[in-house]
Amino acid sequence: MEVGNKQSEEKWIYCAIITDNSNVKRLYPESYQTIANIIKEEKCKGKTLFKNENAIYLEKVEDMLAKGKRNKIPIVDFTFGISHKNIQKYRLIEAKFEVYDLKNIDTKNIREKVSHSKDVMRIDNIQIEDGAVILINKGKKVEQQKNFLSRKLIPYGNYQIMTIDDLYNKYFIA
């Protein structure tokens, strides 16, 4: 194995302490929820492996920030802390469970949501992972859909297209 590839194989794992100590959580306590509840509210179909893991439901923050204003500034659905070798980051997550034809996803809108989400999360003074994870439902053509959306987002950063099981396996299993 080449040394250059080693960094891409480093495992970033869910870190409850980052999410638990979030300034955003402190300012908007109702945004602190279990991932299982968030994905259920976002209309994920099927069972989930998530039990007690928590996240910041940024959609709730978005609602609170918009009070008294005409237009909401769209942000991604939720975020949670990840860590690797004492380095801490937030991973942004956008759920697209109700979109069955990924050709209908507006990648510019996703990029804007990521940008606005980073602005909100900056008060925690923790690095925010570039791009986002886009969650989609499992289906017959899930791999084809993942590849299609990944190709559309490649030029814009570290966007990963996953099912809820993929997310769990990538960030929640050490």
pLDDT in tens, 29-45: 999 999 999 999 999 98
Over the stretch 100-150, which tens digit does the pLDDT of each residue have?
778 888 899 999 999 999 999 999 999 999 899 999 888 788 888 889 889
Q: What is the pLDDT of residue 9?
A: 61
Contact residues for 55 (Cβ-Cβ < 8 A; gap 6+): 19, 32, 33, 34, 35, 38, 78, 79, 80, 93
Contact residues for 41 (Cβ-Cβ < 8 A; gap 6+): 57
User: Average pLDDT, stretch 2-16?
Assistant: 68
Express as a percent the part of the chain with pLDDT over 70.
94
The encoded tokens of residue 142 equal 């899930």
| Residue 90 near residue 80 (C-beta atoms within 8 A) | yes
Q: What is the pLDDT of residue 3?
A: 44
